Structure 1
Amino acid sequence: MMVSMLRFPKRSYVGWGSIGELFQVLRGWGQRNVLVVTDPTLVKIGLVEEFLSPVNHDFQITVYTDVEPEPSLECAERLVAFTRAGSFGCVVGLGGGSALDMAKLAAVIPQNKGNIADYLNLTGTMKLEKEGVPKILIPTTSGTGSEVTDIAVLSLKGTKDVITHDYLLADVAIVDPQLTLSVPKRVTAATGIDALTHAVEAFLSVNASEATDALALRAVELIGGSLKTAVENGKDAEARKAMSTGSYLAGLAFFNAGVAGVHALAYPLGSQFKLPHGESNAVLLPYVMKTISANCREKMNTICRILADGVKQVDDWNAEDYLRLFYYFVKDVGLPTTLKEYGIIESKLTDLTNDAIKQKRLLARSPKPLGENEIHQIYQMAYSGLQ
C-alpha cells in the first residue's frame, strides 16, 4: 500500500479578516526590519498602505515593487541583490503568485551562496544550505496557491523553470478573502481557472492519495460553485470567500500530489508569448483533459459530475463530453479558448512542443504519458478550438 507524506506551511490563517493576524505574527518574531515584496498595482490602488498601516508605527517597513508578471530570472536576481544589501529580519509577500514567489526567493537565496540561477531545477548545480529569514505569504488573488507551496517559478528564454525546496515554504500563510474584492474580472477568471486546474490535476495525478483527493474535490466544489459569481460580481463576499478557500485547498492538494500536463504545456505559453499563467492553463485545460481522459475515466467522471451539477449521469461521460464541459466552463467566465485568439500562429506549435517536452518533472505525474506527438496534438487542438 502507498504511504503518503503531506507537507503544509508551518501555520495558516484562513478567513475573512485574517489579515489582522499580521501584527501579532510580526510582533511575536521580534524582527523590526521588514521587507514587503508586492505588486506595484497594489501600491497604486492603496491596498498596501491600507493593510500595512496598523503595523507601520511598530516596524521599519521597506516596500519593494520591482515585481513583474511571470517574473524573469533577471527580475529575481535584482531582488536578491537588493535584499543582500539590506539587513531584513523577515519578509512579507503580498500580492499574486509572482509577488509571493519573489518573496520566497528574497527570504532564502540571500542567506545562501551563489545566485538564483545556481538553484534552478533544470540547470542548477547547487543545493540550498540555509533556511533564510522567516516569511509571511499573503495572496491577494484566488488562484496560484503559492502561499502554501515550496516552489518559485521563473521565466527563462523560451520556457520556465523553478526553484523548489522546503526552505521556500511559508512560515505563515494568511488567506483573507477581503483582499480579493478589488481584483478585476479578467484576473478573477484567470486565477480562478488556475486554482481549478490545480485541484483537477492534483486529483488526477499519479501521486494522488486519499488525503489529497479530499482536498482537491472540496476545492473543485467551492471553485465550480462560485467562480462565475465572483467574476460577475467581485463584491460578492460569499463568492470571494468560497474562491479564496477553494484556492487554498487546491494549493495544498497540488503541493502534495503535483500538477501535470496542463502546467507543463502552459509554461512555454507564458515564457514565449507572455500569456498570464492562469490564462495559459485555461486555454489548454479542455484539450489536455480530453487527451488523458481514457487513463483516468472514473476520476474524470467524478470531477465532471461536480462541475456539471448533476446534469448528466456519471456513466454517460466520454472524451468529447470532457472537452465540451471544460471548454464551456472556461468560455463562460470570459476567457479565450483557442491559441488563435492570442495571435499565436500555427507554425509556432512546434516551438511550444519542443519546450513543453522538457518539463519532465510535471509530465511524470500525468495519468497518461504525454510524449512529443501527444503534446503537439494538444497544442493543435488548442489552436483550432472546439470543432
Structure 2
Amino acid sequence: MSEKITFAPISYTGWGSLEHLAQEVQRFNAKKAIIVTDPFLKNMGMTDKVTKPLEVLGCAYEIYTDVVPEPPLAIGEKLASFTREHQFDLIIGLGGGSALDLAKLAGVMATHEGKVEEYLNLTGTKTLNNKGLATILIPTTAGTGSEITNISVLSLETTKDVISHDYLLADVAIVDPQLTVTVPPKITAATGIDALTHAVEAYVSVNASPVSDALALQAIRLISSSLRTAVENGQDKDARTKMSYGSYLAGLAFFNAGVAGVHALAYPLGGQFHIAHGDSNAVLLQYVMGYIRSSCEKRMKDIYEAMGFSATNLSQEEASYACVHELKRLVADVNIPLTLKGFNIPENALDLLTEDATKQTRILARSPLPLEKEDIYTIYRAAFNGEIVEK
C-alpha cells in the first residue's frame, strides 16, 4: 500500500538556527512583512530578533499582536481582513501554536475571498484554491508542531474547528531551541506534554506508517528524557534542544499519521473552558490511553520502552499498563493537574463536553479503538473522578 508523506519545504533546526532568517527573507524578495506574534513576546523584546534582520535588508514590516491563546474565530477573521488591506508579501509567525496557526491562516486568507468560517473543516462550504503568501514560521515553544503542519485551529463557541490544506504549509520553518529558554515552567510543561501526546497518538493511529513510527518514537525518546529538566531549569541547553527536536519530530509524525481520541476530547475543554491546549491534552492523556489500551498493547509497549524503561520481563499487556502509569507520572511530575476537577470543571459539564467531542469525527476516525458517544462520556467521567477505566 502506498502512502503520501508530507514535510514543510525547508526547515532549519538546532541552536542558533534563527540566523538563517535573513537569507530566506531575501530569497522571497520581500518588501513588506507582517509579523504575527503575541503581545508578551513583543514586550519582552523577542520580536527584535526578527525585526533587526528585516531592517538590514530594507524590508518594511508591521508587528501584529492581536493574538490570544486558543484564538476564537473572530480573531482569525480580523487578521484576515487586516492582511488583505495592507498588501503584505510575506508572513512571519513568531510564538506558540496560536501565533503560528494565525500566521498560516493570514497567509492563505490574504489571497482568498470570503470569511474564514466559510473554509472551516466541519461546517465550511469553500475550498482553498491557491497557496497564498510566502510564510516563515518560528516557534518559541517546544510543543505544538504548528510550524510544520497544514492546519490552523480556531475556537468556536463551545468547541474548535480547523482549516486544513497543504496550502497552509509554511515555506520555511525555523526551529531554534535558543528561543525557548525564557518560556516559563508552566508553559514548558503544557507544551511539552502536548508534543508528547502528538507522538503517542501518531504512533497508535490507524494511519501510522514506518515513517511516522520512526518520527514518533524518536520524539518520545527525546521528550521523555528532557521534559522534567526543561521544566525545572529552563536554561538547560541540552534539555531545551532535545525538547525542540522532539516537538518538531512529533509534529511531523502527527501531521502524517494524525492524532485521535485525546485531541478529540481536548478540543471541547479548550472551547468551553478556555483551558490551554497542552493542559487539555495532558489531563486526558492517561485516561484515553488507559481506555483504549487493549486495542494497541504492542504499540504501548514500544512507547513504554521509548520512554526509557525495560520491558524485557513484561508481557505486552503488563507493559501497556506500565506505559499508562508512566504517562500519568510524567504529567504529575511537571505539575499539571491529573483530573478535570483540578481544572475546576463541574460534573454537570460532562454531557455537553461529550456532545461536542462526538463532532470531532475527522480526529476520532484515527483511534485504534472506535470511540462512540458512550465511550467518550465514560472517559470524561474517568478524568473527572481520577480513575482510569478501560473498554
Determine if the TM-score, normalized by the shorter chain, exceeds 0.5: yes
Which amino acid in the other structure matches residue 43 of structure 1?
A: K
Equivalents in 2 of 1:124, 1:67: separation in Å? 23
Q: How many residue pairs end up in the alignment?
A: 386
Please, which runs of 5 or more residues in structure 1 have no aligned partner? none
- Code of the residue aligned with 1:207 in structure 2: it is N
Q: Does 1:49 align with 2:45?
A: no
Q: How does 1:230-379 map to 2 (within 5 A)?
A: 230-310=230-310, 313-315=313-315, 317=318, 320-379=321-380
State the distance in 1 between where 2:79 and 2:50 align. Answer: 23
Whichever residue aligns with residue 268 of structure 2, its letter is P
> Equivalents in 2 of 1:313, 1:320: separation in Å?
14
Cα distance between partner residues in 1 of 2:20 and 2:160: 34
DSSP 3-state at the match of 1:317: helix
Seq. identity, %:
54
CA RMSD of aligned residues (A): 1.2
* C-alpha distance after superposition, 1:320-340 (max 9, x if no partner): 434322111100111111000
CA contact (8 A) 2:108 2:131 kept: yes
- Offset at residue 51 of structure 1 (A): 3.9
Query: Residue 16 of structure 2 corresponds to which residue in structure 1?
Result: 17
Contact 1:230 1:236 in 2 (8 A): yes
Distance in 2 between the 1:368 and 1:258 partners?
14
Aligned-partner Cα distance in 2 for 1:189–1:268:
21
Give the conservation status (yes or no) of the 8 Å contact 1:91–1:106: yes
- The corresponding residue for 2:176 is 176
Q: Deviations over 1:290-320 (max 9, x none)?
A: 1111111000111012225227744162664
> Structure 2 stretches of 5 or more lacking a match?
none
Shifted more, 356-365 versus 300-309: the winner is: 300-309
Matched, 1:207 2:190: no
Q: How does 1:42-81 map to 2 (within 5 A)?
A: 42-57=41-56, 58-81=58-81
Structure 1 segments, 4+ long, off by >4 Å, are none
Asked whether the equivalents of residues 207 and 257 of structure 2 are also in contact (C-alpha less than 8 Å), the reply is yes
- Indicate if the aligned counterparts of 1:305 and 1:314 stay in contact, CA closer than 8 A: no
2:300–2:319 Cα contact (<8 Å) kept: no
Normalising by the residue count of structure 1, what TM-score does the alignment of the two structures yield?
0.98
SS of 1:137's equivalent in the other structure is: strand
**1:46 alignment partner, SS class:** coil
Q: Distance in 2 between matches of 1:381 and 1:52?
A: 48
Report the 3-state secondary structure (helix = DSSP H, G, I; strand = E; otherwise coil) of the residue aligned with 2:47.
helix
Partners of 2:80 and 2:105 within 8 A in 1: yes
Contact 1:308–1:325 (8 Å) recurs in 2 = no
TM-score (norm 2): 0.97
Q: Distance in 1 between matches of 2:71 and 2:133?
A: 22
Query: Could you say what secondary structure the match of 2:34 adopts?
Result: strand
Tell me how far 1:22 sits from its aligned partner: 0.4
* Residue in structure 1 matched with residue 89 of structure 2 by the alignment: 89
C-alpha distance in 1 between matches for 2:53 and 2:85? 27
Letter in 1 for 2:17: S
In 1, the alpha carbon distance for the partners of 2:189 and 2:172 equals 26
1:112 aligned partner, one-letter code: H
Q: Kindly provide the amino acid, as one letter, of the partner of residue 366 in structure 1.
A: S
Paired residue secondary structure (1:298): helix
**Equivalent residue of 1:111, what SS?**
coil
